[in-house]
Amino acid sequence: MRRSFYHYIMTLRGNNLKDPTQSFAAAVSKDIMFPKHSEDYHEVADYLELNTNYIESMDLFDRLWEYYLENNR
C-alpha cells in the first residue's frame, strides 16, 4: 500500500532533536498546513521552500524523498 510522504516521515520521528531527520519530522508533525496526502515531490518541495522555515537545507528533504521512494514501492 502506498503512503504519503507525510505518513512516511512520521515513522522517523524521535526525541533526538539534534538529529536533522528527527527534528524535521517533529516540525512536520506540528505543521497543520503540510500537504499530508501528497505523494508528489514538487508539491511537497514547493511547500517547504515557500511556506516553512523549519528545514535548514533542501538537501535533507531530497535525501529523505529518496528513502521515501525506496520504502514506498
Residue range 23-27: mean pLDDT, rounded: 94
C-alpha grid cell, residue 48: 517547504
pLDDT of residue 15: 86
pLDDT at 52 over 70: yes
**CATH number for the domain that contains residue 32:** 1.10.150.260
Cα 58 to Cα 6: distance, rounded to the nearest angstrom: 16
pLDDT at 56 over 90: no
Cα 35 to Cα 9, 23, 29, 39: the distances in Å are 12, 18, 11, 9
The torsion angles phi and psi of 27, rounded to 5 degrees, stand at: -65, -40
pLDDT at 65 over 90: yes
Domain that holds residue 46: 5-70
Cα 38 to Cα 69: distance, rounded to the nearest angstrom: 13
Write down the pTM of the prediction. Answer: 0.90
